[in-house]
A and B are shown apart, each in its own frame.
Chain A
Amino acid sequence: MEWMSWLSRLTPRGPGGRSSRNVASSSPCTADPETCLMVFENHWRQLSWVLEQQEPSGCSDDLTAVRNHTDQMLCLLAEERPGEVGEGPPGTLTSSTVPPVGPILGLVVTENVLERVVQWHLRRGLDPDSQGALLKLFEMLIGQSQQPLLQHKAVLQPLLGLLGACAEPQLGCPPSLENSLVLLLNQICVSMARAPAVLELLFRSAPVQHGPTNLLIFSLLVPFIHRDGAIGQQARDALLLVMATSASNQGVARYIAENSYFCPVLATGLSALYSSLPRKIEVRGDDWHALRREDWMGVSSLVLFMNSLEFCNAVIQVAHPLVRSQLVDYVHNGFLVPVMGPALHKSSVDEMIASTAYLDLFLRSVTETALLKTFLRFILMHRHDNDTILDTLLTRVSSNSRLCMVSLSLFRTLLSLNCEDLMLQLVLRYLLPCTHVMLSQRRAVRDTDLYGKSADKFLSLIPECCRLSVLPSAEREEEPAFWGKVLNSPSSESPVHPKPSTPSRLALFMRQQSTALPFTPSPTETVPSSPRGGPSTPLSPDSPMHPVPEGLDWESGYLEYLRDARRGVELCSWACRNWSAPYDGEDPSPNTAPLLPPPPTSNPSLAMFPEHFSFQQGGGEAVERLISELLDGAGPGEGGQQGPGEGGQQGPGDSNGQGISIEAFTQELRELEERVRERSRGVGDPDSEEPLPPSPLDSDLIGNGAGAGVEPKVVGSAVGLCSPARPLGQPSAQPYTGPFMVVLFAKLENMLQNSLYVNILLTGILCQLACYPQPLLRSFLLNTNMVFQPSVKSLIQVLGSVKNRIEVFAASHEDFPAMLRKAQRYLVARGKVDWADSSPMGVPTLRRSDSLVKSRKPSLGDLIMRHTNSPTRARHAAQLALAHVRDGGQSLHSALFRGGTGGGASGLEKQVEALRVKNAVYCAVIFSEFLKELAALAQEHAVSMPFLQKTRERGGGRQG
């Protein structure tokens, strides 16, 4: 339970800490309760005399006296022990369940001591000093009391009176007292979590003038939700305790959902915080493509945002379903649609890069299914200017820049979710009709690569010029010291701290080389003993299992690919076990395939940067409008024009966030609260079935995501399942495998020109796709025997054309073998760095899905606690690692320059040519490895066992 970690943060102030404190301090008092009572009564006599003065003089003597007496009395009250359970008259209900109150508490209750003290202060006019003192006193009392206090009206009422004063506009809570206030509220919530009955009391016994008390607690806590530092954390912890406590309390949950402004504030607060994020991400290396922890820990505005997102996630985890669904809706309508949507559609490339990277980061950070669903629904269904977010993101893959890499990275994250809805929209719906295969081939959709024919085909595409061994033997001997060091890290792997379990192919380079060296095998490679404890002989030589010819370095690498492929296929099919259908060409039936958007008729990249920035207005619902107004007031202005320029100057380390201040935001919140209150009054009886807030789910389904804000008319009226907004293009008879496949294949075909990092991301995504066990997708990518319709390009065709280009290139560069070797060595070095990435050093490098999956695992709280590393150190480490390779990337550059074009060329032309050569050489290396990955995947699919589908079994049971 992740929220346990939230709760456990409170433990220093929780039961353990409290009791230990009291054991030490209370013993002298409890030794003689009667004396304590006498002392208390004595104080009370004197205090009540002061309190009863008709004219509260401004005299400071009175104040001092009251304070002194109150201090003494409350300490005595806090240390008093409850009476023994057995003391009461036997048989009565109260004595058997609740211990009787101690005599001091009894006196406090009968004399209404606290109420009178607080009232005296309030009448007198609460100066900040006294206010702070009272807050601290109550905090001490509630935090340290030996007996439950809050269920006594005589304690609760004055406490609420004091809190009420803090909520009053004219008095309020001075900034200097905020810490005390939040601490007190936190204590109240801790007590409440311990005694859930208090929750009920808090909500029932409301002082008239303040309306519902939970509103009071909320209105006091909520302004601190998004606050930085300890105070924000305490407020969030406190709110989370309320959420957890009220998770099973329908009444309270309804109250939170309908009468408090907790959810809108939380969700729209994300919008406010988002608006202060840097609009340009300062880019470090040409391989940067995603925000990692190291990247954002230094950006305070991003830390703030992530804290709040984490809190949302935690609330959704513990809260009542009513609150959960409301919060999820508000995140959708108050953050994703009005802010994230436009942000993703900004016109400047920098902003597109930043918003895409942010979205990727958010998706990787969210762990709660309900919240993930809302993000996915936003991406798949929400229409911004007639295009779904998904459409927009797809067009950017084809861009020729970092935007492409960031977008690929986002898709990598999306694919790692193994979400049926996403895969349906992205790929499967285009394959469902089976029009991409020849009619006679449809039955072959389910075939697996039983005899390795497809694998063989993939491997046969490895260009001849790339089939050289990694290092000529002469060069091997120069390396052992370095590689010896390298080897240590993987073999010292412990089960507790696994290294990146599936090393990227870069790490593979390293292992391939290492196995080529006469090293002692690492422990994991030792010969196994037979299961019956027999002689641990290696496989008999006549076994057909492993007749691997000597002298080829690549086999060990291929074994690793097989291993990775097995893991990939297995994890993916496990993750997909609850999908609604097998997608095998029969179920769902090809005839039930949904209507598809036609292939774009124009170049999508031309229309991809709409100049558009405005918050969507007029969702047709009061709350939504309120939020919009709030955001308009709070945001960086309608045009948002001052932002980009200044934001662009900001480095990630710049702590001074743009946009509104949180203080201004909380001001707005108070107004919002008022309006929500009015609105709910207008709605009247909360039991009336007025649906609030608007469910984005409904509007999306009705309009099929036609964009509530863009086309308000569409919202109410049910339109067809497919949006008419798109111009109708080619007839649907033309088989079309969908924009995702088209753009990936186009990018792949262009592999020779892509940068190394684009190619690594691109091939990684294709491998992710190839892990999916659904026969439709598997056959499309991996069955090289399938015959597709002439208009459908197959993966093998694309790969064939890349192969030819590489061979043409190699033939035209006589130093290609040398360059290839250098490129391989560089990548081996990168692989080493990649591997080291999992160590505490945290070197930023390219990572593949495995580390991504891992980065999703720990709770955000966990992550925050983790030691963070300075990027500088990381970069330094990377440089050190690379320095070992004498002919690393830099000298590859120089080598390529030497082999550049003729003497007449200008410097720039030379550079362009050098870049072209560099990309092509790297491409050759990546391409060969990619083919092995695909071959391994084809083989592993044939031997993988399906996992049982839970839902299908259940469905069958229901019918029977």
Chain B
Amino acid sequence: IIRQKNPKKKTYYAAHVMTPLLSAPGEKMAAVQDAPMELDSEKETKPEILSDGTSNLSGNTASGTLSSPPLTAGGAPKQEDQQTLIAVLQFLRRNKLTESVDILRREACLEDQEDSQTLDGSGGGKGDGDGGDANSLLSRVSIASAAAPQSTLTPIPVKSEYDQPDVSVVLSAYSQQGDPSLYQVYYTGLKNFIESVLDCHRAELSQLFYPLFVHMYLELVYNNHETKAKAFFEKFSGDQECYYQDDLQILCGLTKKEHLKGNEALLDFRTSRFVLRISRDSYQLLKRHLQERHNNQIWNIIQEHLYIDIFDGMPRSKSQIDSMSGSFAGETRREVNKAKVFYGLLKEPEIEVPLDDEDDEAENEEGKPKKKKTKKDSMGSKSKKQDPNAPQQNRIPLPELKDSDKLDKIMYMKESTKRIRLGPENLPSICFYSFLNAYQGLTAVDFTDDSSLLAGGFADSTVRVWSATPKKLRKVKSAAELNLIDKESDDVLERIMDEKTASESKNLYGHSGPVYGVSFSPDRNYLLSSSEDGTVRLWSLQTFTCLVGYKGHNYPVWDTHFSPFGYYFVSGGHDRVARLWATDHYQPLRIFAGHLADVTCTRFHPNSNYVVTGSTDRTIRLWDVLNGNCVRFFTGHKGPIHSLAFSPNGKFLASGSTDGRVLLWDIGHGLMIGELKGHTDTIYALKFSRDGEILASGSMDNTVRLWDSMKAFDDMETDDFTAATGHIPLPDNSQELLLGMYHSKSTPVTHLHFTRRNLLLAAGAYNSQ
């Protein structure tokens, strides 16, 4: 079996990871591409060779030795150790017949995640930091010896669809059971202890309740103590934080061992270690308590299923903890967000802007020539200076600018000189596009950047494109008719259009399920749509036909988004991965795996080097397009994330979720820097104004709210120090930052868009009920 699987795995691997990002631009990009890719592939192939030779027995011994060398906390593990670890793990996986896809998911994922998984066996050691705690080490070893084969196998991520054997492996970790009747006693003991500690530690230690509760409950369920599990749940579920409601609801229905097998969410909970961030003092307190009581049951769970990120300093307050927690898998580990992110914007290509004299004169007449002058200068200088935080211009190969793109850029520059400067005293006008007779079927909306087209995705599988200007939509003539056209004539572009087809809107048919995401290409030639039927479709806006159906997600695709430079796009769906595609490849170039639940929304960073995804697991991840790594991991939302928006300068990110809150993030430092409360329902639309001064949010509660994002960002002083501690005090200033709230009668806001002149366009379907 091993022999058979190997080649398959290799080819798959090659197809995906080795795919160069862009084949078109040629040598330049090939050069760029070669270096990092080589490195990657070398690393990945090495373990294969290693593992080929190892036997089952050696695998076991390897796992045994693993637990003994204590690793220093936070420090980089030795390269060689890591290699062996990977090797052994891979062998074991293969031995257990894990599908190769699965491993590839791992590979595509973060390296540190790999670490955490591989280090599972010695997780406690890492947590201890000093590594001096002999006692804990001892207990670890004893456990390891008791259930050695299983416990080291646990880290494999599981897709229940294909790997039944693995499920049992994952679950079997629970088989080492104590007395089920004592679980309540244990939990109560811990509860009493935490309630008795000093206030400053209580909040931090309270974080333990939820993961412990869940794990203990699952253990009870797994070991068939159904009534005990129920009693346990009844007794303690009320103590959990309210933002875990959704998870508890899932849990409460789950009372049988068999149920566990099909439940991906809980398998994920089990496999990913719940991350807690606790100060050193609090942790010592906890440890001492558990050792005194010889409360091994709880200690085991902490060791095996939790990851305790210990930091030096003051224990955090309740509100600080609450602001960051709530995700499915606990908080962010600090080191996860340490990676450098090039959030700066790419240098604008230099384009000769023909100075239009007439235009100038008109401006003068309007009496604001000064303003224009200064603006122009600043724009010019900005584009010439390279932003230190910007990625290399060709870090990601980008398509070359066509003439039409240059024209569009010029248009954009002209428009931007006429842009209204927004601010608290100068709020944007809002123009609301209401969809009538949509019968609750409007599921997605997008505008082109120049606000000339509007696309709507509907639950009846159609995509409709409207012209937002008086200009009608026309198809290109048929091939036969095109032959008759004089190709030399000046207005050939006009001649190829079929006047007979002019209409205000066009329908695009092709999907076989509700369309959940639409996105225009920046050059307005293409439209992407993603649907319940598992495909992403690319439509031509010249012929209004479907060009490609991208198949890859087997489950509903919740969102898709074009890169700001075109060519690439990202999609995310129910299969819990986000995929990066290029329009001319029918297979994805990157698969971003790591989310524990559906990927609900996807957005490209303005510089196209990063992709951000929001998920039902209540986390946000930022992925590097170049190497597929997760470079930022944000927790703090208390509900599935349904909207994301980058600030125009690329430094900040805003996210909105079903809990009605907007969170603001500093990408460079990897910190949450603001919380905007006010909405009472899911936020489906977020958009920064063109200059980033205003953040507009639109929600299911029929309101558009405008926030002073400038103030929110300025108030927050983020430096490297705060980044090191990983948390900053968040002022509760939502009310000050709220600049305006606008109600529609009965129209949930589905999409928001700022025109190039900073007029805010909103769209939604009028709901007559």
Q: Please indicate whether A and B come from the same complex rather than being unrelated chains.
A: no
Interface of A toward B, CB cutoff 8 Å: none
